[in-house]
Amino acid sequence: MSYTSIGQTGRAVPSHLKEISVPTFPHTSNGMTRRLPRGIAAGSPRANWRRTTTVKGLFAGLVAAFMATTVLGTVGAFAQDAKTTLVVAAPRTPESLDQEYPPTEAGHEVRRNVFERLLTYKQKKGDDGIFYEDFDTIDGALAEKWEVSDDRKSITFHLRKGVKSALGNELNADTVMWSFLRGWNMKSNFHWYMTQIFKIEDFDTAFQKVDDYTVKVTLPNASPLIERIWINSDLGILDSVEVKKHLTDADPWAASWLATNTAAFGPYFISRYKPGQEVVYDANPNYFRGEPKLKRVILREMPTSANRVAAVQAGSVDVAEYLLPRELALVEKAPGVEVHKVFGNFIHRVEMNNAKPPFDSVKVRQALNYLVPRDEMLKSVYFDTARFTKSPISEIYPGFTDGFFAYSNDPAKAKALLAEAGFPEGFKTQLAYRTGDQLEEEMAVILKSAFAKAGVDVELLKLPASTLVERYTKGEVPMYFFRDMAIVPDAAYVANLWLNSASAINYSKFKSDEVDQLIDSALKSTDEPKRLADMKRVQQITMEQAPWVFLMNPGYQLATRSNVKGYSWYTPNGNAFFDLSKE
Amino acid sequence: MTVAFANLGVYWRAIPRPLRIITSRLVMLVPQMFGVMMVTFLLVRMLPGDPALLLLGNMATPETIAAFREKLGLNLSLWEQFVHYVGNALHGDLGVSIFTSNPVVTDLLERAPATLELITYAMLLTILIGVTLAIISVVKAGGFVDIGSRVYGLAAGAIPDFWVGLLLIYFFFYILGWAPAPFGRIDTFVSPPDTVTGFYTIDSLIAGDLNAFFSSVGRLTLPVLTLAIVNAGALMKMTKTTFSDIYRSDFIRHARASGLSEGTIRRVALRNSLPPIITLVGFMFGFLLGAAVLVETIFAWGGLGQYAVQSVVNSDYPALQGFVLVAAAFILIVYTVVDILYELADPRIRV
Amino acid sequence: MTRFIRYVSKHPGAMIGLTLLALQIASILFAPWLTFYSPEEADPLMSLQPPSAAHWFGTDVSGMDIYTRIVYATRINLLISIVAVAFAFAVGVPIGLLIGFYRNWISSLVMRIFDFIQSFPVFVLGMALVSVMGQEIWNVAIVLAVLFIPMFARLIRAEVLSLRERPYVSAARCSGATDGSIMFRHILPNALTPAIVQVSISIGLAILLTAGLSFVGAGVRMPTPEWGLMVSTGAQQMILGVWWVALFPGLAIVISVLSFALLGDMVKDLSDPTTRERQ
């Protein structure tokens, strides 16, 4: 019969085995004599037993050896220079080291550590011992002094003298101007800030080198953000002397070199970059604030959060980024591990496509907001580390108000609203979330059950990130999770990103003429009280119009070994290794 | 015409048989590889998701996206893209991974040793367990090992390897604390040894780095055990059938009657049953490559299997294409070699 | 029939297999009556409860009762596998018959195509196909069917190759039977036996593959109750010491596949008259 045990498993089988049944080798007398050993040994039963025991013994010995080496393996090795090396477990290595690459969480961390900007916020220590940015006080970084004109249309930077990059090149106006030029021509982040926020149209009229250490930027209109924008981590200054060595005709702005190399004036430079595996930061001995206490930072990619947990518990890594709330609750109790928690600026919501039915109806959107079991989600998914989203603006930013949040878990009210909107029996729709995002999957399952209470039948779609982005950019998916943060601590800036109908990243297609107009005027006006009042009105409209299903502000948490000190938090959420040290 | 063809037949049979076998098998490889490339290419192109959008992210304007698609060559016709791809592949260029920005060939070469090390040791352990159990249960038929192995053989075919891996992690890492945490081939604090063979175990011995050696061996234990537990069952069943057929065959009975020792007889029987076992081992090598996908994912191994899963999840066309191509090529080559060896060995097969 | 009963009473393996099969059929038919919760209802406050009187197998991360989901998952897993294997059988057998009977270049071509399908890394091919087609239950079944067709075709072909040389086939041809009637009336009934045995094993294999695909996220989608998907949601928790979410669905897989393996052995023994002597 031709079905051998392999055939039974049905896996692919080499051709000859498929046709011929298990063969027995031809036992001709020729074959026999060729295979018989010289001499005939008499075998006693005891000898046979010894033979099998040897095999058994060998087997047992091997197992024992494996166990021994395993145990020895766990004991592990000693780290070189443990006190000055930091090992970080991250979910993802950065996609590119170039500032002009679209902002991602991993990219923000690179920018925080490798680049230095013209201005910064003064650092202050919070009651929890964590260092924050003082949004009310701006300080000079690469710019020692700066002046803003009275009409708030121009700003002049006086660069700090004697600042050197890791390669020894000095900071001067030329390198600043070239950084601006590159950013302008790459038509990416720098360009976006300059054209969308500052409304600059022409490079040469806007950017001027005044002398070797002075640079002036002039805007066509007054902007309330004329100083604050320069603090953003995407606007670091490049070491142009180094970068210019790598320009080619095909690549006049060194895009491919800067994607995998760094040349700047920040506290670190990247000495090894292996995407998908690790990034190694080495200290810049010439950093103007002094050499960092941690001379080397090794960032390892470990996509599974549970692995990061195990690593930080075992002490194999010093820092574990982006752990799940459940895991944080667990790891807090472990000896030797500390969890730092800040309010942060993330807002996690389910955005609805406001342009397509049934989500073009306000009542439907409000109804869904009344179906969310926020208390249960806060407990079971977030372990009390988050807060309800009560406004589209982050709680820690000036201009925030939670006075307009009126939603509770009220299925009866939801059903009534749906009936008013013409859906007494509910409707069918889809909710998309990202592959690999456990939190979103947990919430999706909970929301599915919750929405079902009013007859809204939600099909869950788990999509790879690229597909999801494509779908919501094109408006092809009715509901999707979206977690984002705005770097600039300014309500109008945030509203402009997500609520302005002209914004490219307003994927929910929320449109309110009054909101648009209020945002536009707030971006131009310098009358602070009026701006605040306008933004309050924007928040009121948004909460009533409910373009999103408001969920949680998850905050930002970092698990570190207890001997890691100096934790700080910055709005882009990337960890600043310069502030850290190990005891 | 037929006369000419008949003459060809004569010429063909004039070539020594071993050469005939090898040539005909190698010739069949070419269209198969071409077919593999074509199907892979078509399949991967149909994956959902626009890689340009993934790479450029939210802030990208439609113009930047279009320009990027141009750069990735996604706007050409399917046939043109394919021809381009084949041309490059023949030069050893499998494209650039959208996700890691490395050439796919580099990515694959970097990760191949991890998978090969895992598969090799898994194979060794599988053979050790499978063949040993089979021999013992045939020689001592009806004994404890025989009955136990029958149960094991039955169960092993039913156990999902990913489940076994998880259970092993739970028992040996979480409960007993013997095994190291399941992420990667070596401890985070230990630098991998310099690459000679790509096998951390061998390279660390060559470099004399005992820390690295113990660390990598420790990490290998659980994944290798996972693969071996599940696959030794199949090998054992197959070996048992072959070996028992031979062990109970006439010529062995004759040898025993002639007074040969049991040990010698067992050795003889084993050598006679080797050919199908070798075939099976060869085939299992290819099969383990697929099984490694799941195990690598659980243990964050950083090998080809994990790379494949990542590329499907990220719609990383070039990477997925590269992996499937290499894996299919590997399996085809293994089968071809095994076929050749078998046809060489068995004079009954006509070529 | 008596032969069947006599066989079963002598072979504990077959008895176990049949019992487990009955258990699974009961799970499929009587699921709502055998369980106390709804399979897709999330209760966030009850997440990750260990096994207790209220939740026999504990709850998973969303608070869904694991025992309930395992019982309901029998439907999904078995449905996919049986449909896939049935489809592969229905397509593979005729193809095998044809390529075994007609030894021409078409047959060789088809064999090469099969060689080629089977040389792909099965798993990655399955993943890619399901990603392309979308994560619906039917797509998973279709993908599995495509992967199994070559196996059935080969089995039938091997049998046909040996059977077509038998004297009774030549006799039928002499009496003027057409190719078609020879194939279907004379050869097929005798060739079917190994394929039928294979069906059982294949169902087991299909269950493993479905579970594996769902485990890496290329199978059915959340929150469908499916054993492999349940193991994958439990995988993350395993390293943190939560063992029940992944253990029980895995056991369900083992039991199910085992039952089909035992049934396959039983069918094999019953259909092969020679094995009756070898007790």
- The model's pLDDT over A325-380, given as tens digits with 9 standing for 90+, comes to 888 988 888 889 999 999 889 999 999 999 988 899 999 999 999 999 999 899 88
Return phi, psi of residue A348, to 5°: -105, 120
Q: Alpha-carbon torsion A215, A219, A224, A225, what sign?
A: negative
CA B232 to chain centre: 15
For residues A52 and C228, give the distance between their C-alpha atoms in angstroms, rounded to a whole number.
40
Across the interface, whether the CB atoms of B49 and A464 are under 8 A apart is answered yes
- What are the structure tokens assigned to A267, written together? 């506290």
Tell me the chain C residues in contact with residue A308 when contact means C-beta distances shorter than 8 Å: none
- What are the structure tokens assigned to C119, written together? 């040389």
- What are the structure tokens assigned to A549, written together? 């299903």
User: What does DSSP say about strands A347-352 and A548-553: parallel, antiparallel, or unpaired?
Assistant: antiparallel
Tell me the chain C residues in contact with residue A444 when contact means C-beta distances shorter than 8 Å: 222
Helix (H) or strand (E) holding A242: helix A240-244
Amino acid at A60: A
SS3 A482: strand
Please tell me the least confidently modeled range out of A140-154, A183-197, B21-35, C191-205.
Answer: B21-35
For residues B333 and C119, give the distance between their C-alpha atoms in angstroms, rounded to a whole number.
10
Q: Are A472 and A480 spatial neighbours (Cβ–Cβ below 8 Å)?
A: yes
Mean pLDDT of the C144-169 span? 83
- Residue B72: the pLDDT is 65
- Compute the nearest-CA separation of A334 from chain C (Å): 12
**pLDDT over 90 at A139, yes or no:** yes
Highest mean pLDDT among B16-20, C16-20, C98-102, C120-124: C16-20
C254 touches chain B (CB under 8 A): yes
Helix axes B262-298 and B304-313, enclosed angle (nearest 10): 30
Which residues have CB under 8 Å from C1's CB, separation 6+? none
Mean pLDDT of the A473-489 span? 90
- Residue A131: the pLDDT is 93
Mean pLDDT of the A395-414 span? 90
Tell me the β-bridge partners of C225: none
Percent of chain A with pLDDT over 70: 86
* Nearest-by-Cβ selection for A441 from C122, C159, C222: C222
Q: Are A102 and B56 spatial neighbours (Cβ–Cβ below 8 Å)?
A: yes
Interface mutation vs chain A, best among C41, C48, C62, C229, most A CBs within 10 Å: C62
- Give the closest residue to C229 by CA, choosing from C213, C207, C205: C213
Across the interface, whether the CB atoms of A4 and B238 are under 8 A apart is answered yes
> What is Dmax (Cα atoms) for chain A?
110
**pLDDT over 90 at A88, yes or no:** yes
Amino acid at A2: S
For every residue of C63-131, DSSP letters joined together read --BHHHHHHHHHHHHHHHHHHHHHHHHHHHHHHHHHHHH--SHHHHHHHHHHHHHHHS-HHHHHHHHHH
Amino acid at C225: P
- Residue B238: the pLDDT is 79
Question: Which chain C residue shows the shortest CA-CA distance from A452?
Answer: C41
Which residues have CB under 8 Å from A74's CB, separation 6+? B177, B178, B179, B180, B218
For residues B127 and C78, give the distance between their C-alpha atoms in angstroms, rounded to a whole number.
33
C278 touches chain B (CB under 8 A): no
B33 touches chain C (CB under 8 A): no
Across the interface, whether the CB atoms of A462 and C159 are under 8 A apart is answered no
Tell me the chain A residues in contact with residue B286 when contact means C-beta distances shorter than 8 Å: 12
User: What does DSSP say about strands A131-140 and A214-218: parallel, antiparallel, or unpaired?
Assistant: unpaired
For residues A292 and A283, give the distance between their C-alpha atoms in angstroms, rounded to a whole number.
6
**pLDDT over 50 at A73, yes or no:** no
- Residue A51: the pLDDT is 47
- What are the structure tokens assigned to A289, written together? 């604030």
Rg (Cα) of chain A, in Å, rounded?
31
Distance, first Cα to last Cα, chain C: 19
Return phi, psi of residue C190, to 5°: -80, -25
With b for 16 or more beta-carbon neighbours within 10 A and e for fewer, the A156-167 pattern comes to bbbbbeebbbbe
Tell me the chain A residues in contact with residue B150 when contact means C-beta distances shorter than 8 Å: none
Length of chain C equals 279
Residue of higher predicted confidence among B70 and A121: A121
DSSP B175: I
For every residue of C197-263, DSSP letters joined together read HHHHHHHHHHHHHHHHHHHHTSSSPTTS--HHHHHHHHHHHHTTT--HHHHHHHHHHHHHHHHHHHH
Residues of chain B with pLDDT under 70: 1-2, 4-6, 44, 46-62, 64-65, 71-73, 101, 188-190, 342, 344-351
Return phi, psi of residue A442, to 5°: -60, -45
Q: Are C216 and B309 spatial neighbours (Cβ–Cβ below 8 Å)?
A: yes
Query: How many Cβ atoms sit within 10 Å of the Cβ of residue B238?
Result: 27
Query: How many Cβ atoms sit within 10 Å of the Cβ of residue A437?
Result: 16
- Per-residue CA distances from C126 to A214, C129, C147, C218 (Å): 61, 5, 8, 8
Helix (H) or strand (E) holding A480: strand A479-484
Interface mutation vs chain B, best among C201, C238, C244, C259, most B CBs within 10 Å: C238
Tell me the chain B residues in contact with residue C128 when contact means C-beta distances shorter than 8 Å: 43-44, 47, 312, 320, 324
C262 touches chain A (CB under 8 A): no
- Residue A11: the pLDDT is 34
Query: How many Cβ atoms sit within 10 Å of the Cβ of residue B66?
Result: 14
Residue A75: pLDDT band by 50, 70, 90 thresholds?
A: very low
Q: Are C190 and C254 spatial neighbours (Cβ–Cβ below 8 Å)?
A: no
Query: How many Cβ atoms sit within 10 Å of the Cβ of residue A38?
Result: 4
Residue of higher predicted confidence among A53 and C131: C131
- Compute the nearest-CA separation of C29 from chain A (Å): 24
Tell me the chain A residues in contact with residue B214 when contact means C-beta distances shorter than 8 Å: 69, 72-73, 75
Highest mean pLDDT among A433-437, B81-85, C132-136: A433-437
CA angle in degrees (0–180, nearest 5) for A530-A533-A537: 135
Return phi, psi of residue B16, to 5°: -55, 145
Q: Chain-wide mean pLDDT for chain A?
A: 83
- Give the closest residue to B319 by CA, choosing from B97, B144, B72, B48: B97
A475: left (phi over 0), alpha (psi -120 to 50) or beta: left
Question: Which chain B residue shows the shortest CA-CA distance from A51?
Answer: B263
Asked, as a colleague might, if the bond just before A358 is cis with ω within 30 of 0, I would say yes
Mean pLDDT of the A458-475 span? 82
For residues C82 and C72, give the distance between their C-alpha atoms in angstroms, rounded to a whole number.
16
* Nearest-by-Cβ selection for C223 from A307, A326, A445: A445
Tell me the chain B residues in contact with residue C13 when contact means C-beta distances shorter than 8 Å: 154
Give me the half-sphere count of Cα atoms (radius 13 Å) on the Cβ side of residue A140: 14
**pLDDT over 90 at A282, yes or no:** yes
Q: Give residue-wise pLDDT tens across range C158-197.
A: 888 777 777 877 777 788 777 777 777 777 777 787 788 8
Mean pLDDT of the C201-223 span? 86
Residue of higher predicted confidence among C46 and B344: C46
Question: Which chain B residue shows the shortest CA-CA distance from C111?
Answer: B32
* Nearest-by-Cβ selection for A5 from B64, B178, B237: B237
Mean pLDDT of the A462-467 span? 75
- Per-residue CA distances from A248 to A244, A252, A255 (Å): 9, 5, 10
Amino acid at A491: A
SS3 B334: helix
SS3 C150: helix
- Residue B176: the pLDDT is 83
- What are the structure tokens assigned to A103, written together? 């902002």
B302: left (phi over 0), alpha (psi -120 to 50) or beta: left
